[in-house]
Structure formats: structure tokens, C-alpha cells
């Protein structure tokens, strides 16, 4: 994704218990007439065939949700009122989920499908997978659903079948009793490498830089493993409020990246699953809660403020300012911003020249502003405009104002708005702000800094106290 990852939310279609009113009728879903492939792509799990109906729709393979939950030893809870299906990962299954296959048709068929009636969650977290309702049964995409369980999915285009397999992982290090798997290392390393590569001119990273990056990523994972341990010791858990907050963050990521499809595409380019991103989001939330608990009593002292101020003193400077009045003779309609014709523009310039002559003859500038000025802003700013070189004023106007001496009047200055005659009223020199001037402004930053420093020193101590094995190559 352009800036990194974000978060999710999706509605899906579901119907489960035989004999009940179908969800399609209950939600008044609109059917879609679709050309699909029925039962043309067998599904294997660890090389064993599964008794599953299959539907290929829009290039994606769908399988019955209840049945695959049964095979994955998981259950589900349907909240019909709120239209939510929550998959209970690895919590044991129920025989009712082993539904007898009833899709008898095979091959290319034109059928009615009902898309996306319910929102899917996995252990309470938004899963962002779509679904289709066919013959009162919910079918879900085999790849995205299997990835929730961290299973590998491969499509054999020659045999036209799908292979699901358990991911066989190896360990590349440890932190105390906690193992670091190759898979979790690759998740963090590949995403980090992708982001680093995007910031280089040619999109390439040298082998030397990659080696450094690998060690940095490993060290980051060590930090996470220690935070996991300390969070458990401090009984930090994700409650319902925390779960809602994580789901909101997932939603913001998905929205900011133009949908779940773009998020999955970005992750997929590094071999990562969306579910892994969800797990990382959960970890990040726990780490934040732990850090908050351990640093909540810390408050900055006067020395902290002084140290921060001295280090960033150059940032606390009020730049030079000027205060200027002006007479504007417009070359556009001030309401519609429509440009004047060349003839009318020439008339405006002639008028400006006549006013400038009056100024040079000793005319009262304020009276001339009141009599001829066409800038409505001068009425609400009778003392003139005060601004710095960096303020968003028209460049020609700013340059003219800063070139004047106090009391001096400019010649005619042309901008996109028209012809201006400026008078400089005041020059305010650059000013170094003192600590007392900025203390309120920097309070939150200093508080954050001392807490970050505290956690960094604490982590350094924790790392020194625990055995770390690093086998990254």
C-alpha cells in the first residue's frame, strides 16, 4: 500500500440451519444470475480429498463454510440479529457442521447466487472475506478462509484442483522459551524490505543493506517476544473494548487503501496473509497497553523540559513578520472569480495608476483604501495583514511587502487578483522564544519522549537478562 497497511470490514451472505427461514429471504437479498462452474475443482487437504461441493465464480473457488469449519476443527456462532458470523478458530467442531453435500449439478451452469449478507469475524476480529449463498448454503473463498487458519493454498492449473496444506515451519531463533519461526520472520522482513525498496531511487537494496535489515528485523521480533512475555506477566489482555478498537483500526487501513482487495494484493506481493496482519495488529495493541501501564506514573520534570528545549531550540523561533495595508484594484469578479476582459483589465490598471499618483501627492492612504480598495478582507483587517515569508500569501504580494521599509509605499504590484498598492506599517524582527513561551506547546511531546526513553532502557535491561538465540542467515 502506498503508505503502509490499514484495516477491514465486510458483509457476507450466510445460511446454516436446515429448516429455518433462509437468510436470503430474511434480508431480502437481491439474487445475481451468474455463470459458474459447479463441482469441477476437487479440494485436497494434506493430499487427502475432502468431500466438498465447489463453485468457481468470477475466477474464485468457493466451498461450503460449515463443512470446511468441520474439517478445520472449528465451530461458528451466527448472530442473526446483528448479521454477524463469528468463526471460533480451533475450538473444536460440531457434528451439525458436517452437512451432507447436496449440490448435484456439475460443470458450467447458470444459477442464482446471493452475495454478501453477513459480516464475518474470526474469534471476534473482522475477517474481510466475501461469500455467496447458493441453494440456502453459504460458500466462502477457499484461499482467504484457509489463510485465517494459516494454511497454505495452492491451485494446480493442470489438474484443476486445490491443495490445502498445513504450514510446516522451522525455527530461526528463540527468546527465552519463546521460539521465532521462519514464517513470522519472513512476514516482518519482507514487508520491511518492500517499504525500504520503495524509498530507493531504483527500487533496489544492496546485499549488505539486506543483511543489516535482517538483523534489525530479528531484533524487532526479539523486542516483540519480550513484550509478549511481560504482557502476560502483567495480565494484559484484549477486552471487548480493545477488540472494537482493533477492528476500527483495521477498517481505517482497508478504507485508506481503497478496499480489502488492495490490502490483500499488497500483502500477497510479499507472501503475507491478511490474517497475519490482524495478528500483528492485536500484538501492537497489547504492547501499547503494556507500555501505558508501565509508564503511566511518569511525568516530566523541569530538567526534561530544559533538555528538550535546548536540543530543539532552533525550532522555537518566531520568524520575521511584516504588517502591510494595500489598495486592490481587482482584475476579476470578487464573487465569481471570473477574469476581466483585456479592455476592462486595462481600465483597472489605469485606475490603479491614478490612485498611486494620489498617494505620491500625499493623499491619506487609509482614506484611499476605504474609497477605492476592492479587497473585502481589509474591512475586517483595518490595521493591515500580518504575515511571515512562509505564510500562504500570494508570492508577488509577499515579496513586495518584505522589500519595503516601514512607512514606504510600493509601486503597482500585479497578482492574479489584480493591481495592488502596498504600504508597510510594521516590521517585526525574528524572535527566539524562551522555554516558558513553549512549555505548554511541548508538554505532550516531552511526556512521550521520557516514556519512550524509559521503555527503551527497560527493554535494554530485559534483553540483557534473557537468552537470545539468533540463527538468521
Single out the residue of 276, 172, 277 nearest to residue 215, CA to CA.
172
Give the three cell numbers for residue 340: 476581466
118: DSSP letter = B
> Mapped to the 3 state alphabet, what secondary structure does 49-104 carry?
ECCCCCEEECCEEEEEHHHHHHHCCCEEEEECCCCEEEEECCCCCCHHHCCCCCCC
pLDDT at 95: 66
Q: CA-to-CA distance for 113 and 134, rounded, in angstroms?
A: 5
Closest by Cα among 136, 162, 132 to 147: 162
Please enumerate in sequence order all residues whose Cβ is within 8 A of that of 152, keeping only pairs 6 or more positions apart, or say none: 146, 164, 165, 166, 167
H/E segment holding residue 278: helix 274-295
Rounded CA-CA distance 391/336 in Å is 25
State whether residue 423 is helix, strand or coil: strand
Q: What is the pTM of this model?
A: 0.76
pLDDT value of residue 19: 27
Interatomic CA distance for residues 448 and 39, integer angstroms: 58
Q: 325 near 380, Cβ under 8 Å?
A: no
Round to the nearest angstrom and report the end-to-end CA distance of the chain: 28
- Separation between Cα atoms, residue 352 and residue 459, nearest integer Å: 69
d(CA 243, CA 249): 10
- Domains, the chain, ranges and CATH? 23-166 (no CATH), 171-300+453-470 (1.10.4030.10), 317-431 (3.10.50.40)
Quote the CA–CA distance of 72 and 57 in Å, as a whole number.
Answer: 23
DSSP code of residue 106: -
Contact criterion met (CB below 8 Å) for 118 and 14 = yes
How far is 7 from 174, CA to CA, in rounded Å?
A: 30
Torsion sign (Cα): 12, 17, 23, 26 = negative
The strands making up 48-49's β-sheet, listed across from edge to edge, are: 48-49, 43-45, 161-166, 151-156
Q: Report phi then psi at 57, rounded to 5.
A: -135, 125
Q: Give the pLDDT confidence score for residue 136 in this predicted structure.
A: 85
Walk across the sheet containing 178-181 and list its strands.
178-181, 171-175, 468-470
Q: What is the largest CA-CA distance in the chain?
A: 101
Q: How high is the mean pLDDT in each 10-residue block of the chain (473 residues)?
A: 31 24 46 92 94 93 92 89 87 70 81 88 94 90 94 92 91 96 95 93 93 96 97 96 96 95 94 94 96 96 96 96 97 90 96 97 96 94 95 95 97 96 97 96 96 97 97 92
Q: Residues with Cβ < 8 Å from 295, sequence gap 6 or more?
A: 451, 454, 455
Query: How many other C-beta atoms can be found within 10 angstroms of the C-beta atom of residue 126?
Result: 24
Please work out, in degrees rounded to the nearest 5, the angle formed at the alpha carbon of residue 286 by the alpha carbons of 230 and 176. Answer: 30
Burial 86-113 (b: 16+ CB within 10 A, else e): bbbbeeebeeebeeeeebeeeeeeebeb
- CA 282/CA 280 separation, integer angstroms: 5
Enumerate residues 6+ apart whose C-beta is below 8 A from 424. Answer: 322, 323, 324, 401, 404, 405, 406, 407, 408
Amino acid at each position: 500500500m502506498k503508505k503502509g497497511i490499514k484495516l477491514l470490514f465486510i458483509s457476507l451472505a450466510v445460511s446454516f440451519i436446515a429448516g429455518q427461514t433462509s437468510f436470503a429471504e430474511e434480508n431480502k437479498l437481491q439474487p445475481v444470475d451468474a455463470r459458474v462452474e459447479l463441482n469441477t475443482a476437487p479440494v485436497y487437504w494434506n493430499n487427502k480429498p475432502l468431500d466438498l461441493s465447489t463453485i468457481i465464480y468470477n475466477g474464485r473457488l468457493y466451498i461450503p463454510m460449515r463443512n470446511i469449519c468441520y474439517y478445520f476443527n472449528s465451530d461458528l456462532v451466527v448472530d442473526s440479529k446483528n448479521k454477524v458470523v463469528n468463526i471460533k478458530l480451533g475450538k473444536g467442531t460440531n457434528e451439525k457442521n458436517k452437512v451432507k453435500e447436496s449440490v448435484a449439478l456439475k460443470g458450467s451452469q447458470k444459477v442464482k447466487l446471493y452475495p454478501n449478507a453477513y459480516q464475518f469475524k474470526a474469534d471476534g476480529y473482522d475477517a474481510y472475506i466475501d461469500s455467496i449463498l447458493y441453494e440456502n448454503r453459504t460458500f466462502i473463498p477457499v484461499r482467504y478462509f484457509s489463510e485465517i487458519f494459516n494454511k497454505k493454498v495452492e491451485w494446480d492449473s493442470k489438474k484443476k484442483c486445490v491443495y490445502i496444506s498445513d504450514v510446516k515451519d522451522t525455527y530461526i531463533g528463540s527468546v527465552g522459551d519463546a521460539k521465532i519461526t521462519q514464517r513470522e520472520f519472513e512476514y516482518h522482513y519482507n514487508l520491511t524490505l518492500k517499504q525500504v525498496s520503495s524509498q530507493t531511487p531504483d527500487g533496489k537494496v544492496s546485499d549488505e543493506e539486506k543483511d543489516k535489515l535482517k538483523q534489525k528485523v530479528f531484533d524487532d521480533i526479539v523486542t516483540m517476544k519480550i513484550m509478549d512475555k511481560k504482557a502476560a506477566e502483567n495480565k494484559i489482555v484484549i477486552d471487548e473494548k480493545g477488540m472494537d478498537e482493533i477492528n476500527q483500526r483495521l477498517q481505517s487501513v482497508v478504507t485508506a487503501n481503497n478496499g480489502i482487495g488492495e490490502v490483500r494484493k499488497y500483502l500477497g506481493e510479499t507472501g503475507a496473509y491478511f490474517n497475519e496482519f490482524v495478528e500483528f495488529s492485536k500484538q501492537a495493541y497489547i504492547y501499547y497497553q503494556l507500555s501505558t501501564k508501565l509508564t503511566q506514573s511518569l511525568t516530566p520534570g523541569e530538567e526534561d523540559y530544559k533538555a528538550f528545549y535546548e536540543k530543539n531550540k532552533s525550532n522555537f523561533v518566531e520568524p520575521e513578520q511584516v504588517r502591510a495595508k494595500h489598495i486592490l484594484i481587482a482584475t476579476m469578479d470578487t464573487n465569481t472569480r471570473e477574469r476581466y476582459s483585456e479592455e476592462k483589465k486595462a481600465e483597472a490598471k489605469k485606475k490603479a495608476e491614478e490612485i498611486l499618483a494620489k498617494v505620491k501627492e500625499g493623499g491619506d492612504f487609509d482614506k484611499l483604501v476605504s474609497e477605492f480598495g476592492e479587497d473585502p478582507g481589509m474591512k475586517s483587517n483595518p490595521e493591515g495583514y500580518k504575515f511571515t515569508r512562509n505564510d500562504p500569501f500570494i508570492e508577488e504580494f509577499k515579496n513586495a511587502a518584505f522589500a519595503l521599509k516601514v512607512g514606504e509605499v510600493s509601486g503597482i504590484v500585479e497578482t492574479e487578483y489584480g493591481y495592488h498598492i502596498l504600504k508597510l506599517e510594521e516590521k517585526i524582527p525574528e524572535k527566539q522564544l524562551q522555554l516558558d513561551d513553549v512549555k505548554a506547546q511541548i508538554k505532550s511531546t516531552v511526556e512521550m519522549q521520557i516514556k519512550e526513553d524509559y521503555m527503551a532502557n527497560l527493554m535494554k535491561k530485559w534483553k540483557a537478562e534473557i537468552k537470545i538465540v539468533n540463527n538468521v542467515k
